[in-house]
A and B are shown apart, each in its own frame.
Chain A
């Protein structure tokens, strides 16, 4: 496991180290199988174009899951995601990198948990935020040992 990040290590205004994903049409097929989402706009180019799209597009839930990977990787084994919400404002296409980014907006303790609120988003290689959102994660505190979860 990588080095654990703690609540005391973070402050509002800090950015989370970005994660870069390289989705391909092959990954979209894997995702379709694993998620059960077989909507043709994600693997049939002719169908996607008949729907007015430029080509096949990445599943929104896959971008959401990339953000999940970005956040769970950052909070480490001692942390957890509490909330994640996004809106899909622009299309992401296979063959183009997706860059996951985040910035801490607030940290606070509540009901015995050490919570961190973030602005998060997925960006395309042109720097456009295709998928903006917000997240709340829990981090362990140096002042309290990491508990075993139920």
Chain B
């Protein structure tokens, strides 16, 4: 019996929709705690004194610190999506960096759903939700951009 598409008109309407951005204030403590969670001893993100002698002139965030700066509206959507496919997994992440994040930065995270796909795989029936995200600082400069794939199954 043919299955109905998992991509209902209600879900389709989410593609391209602008969600309110989330802005995060970054502190030295946030950065150090993040480096400690990766268990990455690099002095650039652990030790202000040593980082001051580096070419950055001070502590910077590890590039993947952006993982902690999520768009809260999109996160809510992923968990509460109107679909019978109730389980959620991260399918993939891509980031492209233009400059490091530093303590005191205010990073605005703008994210939107750019595509929905459905498929059949080892997890059974799957719905792929693809988003694009941009990170800008308090000066309006581009810090990074990314692309995420989420799986509901």
A interface residues, Cβ below 8 angstroms from B: 1, 21, 27, 30-31, 33-36, 39, 51-52, 59-62, 64-66, 68-69, 72-73, 77-78, 80-88, 146-150
Q: Verify A85–B68 contact, CB threshold 8 A.
A: no
**Given A35-B34, A77-B44: A68 in contact with B93 (beta carbons within 8 A):** no
A85 touches B37 (CB 8 A): no
Q: How distant is B93 from chain A, measured CB to nearest CB, in Å? A: 5
User: Are B87 and A72 neighbours in the complex by a CB distance under 8 Å?
Assistant: no
In whole Å, how far is A28's beta carbon from the nearest beta carbon of chain B?
9
Closest chain A residue, CB of each to CB of B51:
A77
Q: Please name all residues of chain A whose beta carbon is closer than 8 Å to the beta carbon of B96 when the two chains form the complex.
A: 82-83
Q: Is B77 at the interface (CB under 8 A from chain A)?
A: no
With A78-B55, A85-B94, A146-B55 as known contacts, state yes or no: A64 contacts B64, CB within 8 Å.
yes
Say which residue of B34, B54, B57, B91 sits within 8 Å of A34 (CB atoms).
B34
On whether A65 and B62 interact (CB within 8 A), knowing A36-B68, A36-B70, A72-B42, the answer reads: yes
B55 and A147 form a contact (CB under 8 A): yes
Which B residues contact A (CB, under 8 angstroms)?
Answer: 30, 33-34, 36-40, 42-44, 54-57, 62-64, 67-68, 70, 87-97, 99-100, 147, 149
Q: A68-B62, A78-B55 are in contact. Are A87 and B39 (CB under 8 A)?
A: no
Is B100 within 8 A of A149, CB to CB? yes
A112–B16 Cα distance when bound, in Å, is 35
A99 vs chain B, min Cβ distance (A): 15
Q: Are B87 and A51 in contact (CB under 8 A)?
A: yes
Q: Nearest residue in B to A62 (C-beta to C-beta)?
A: B38
Q: Do the beta carbons of A88 and B90 come within 8 Å of each other?
A: yes
> CA A52 – CA B126 in complex, angstroms?
14
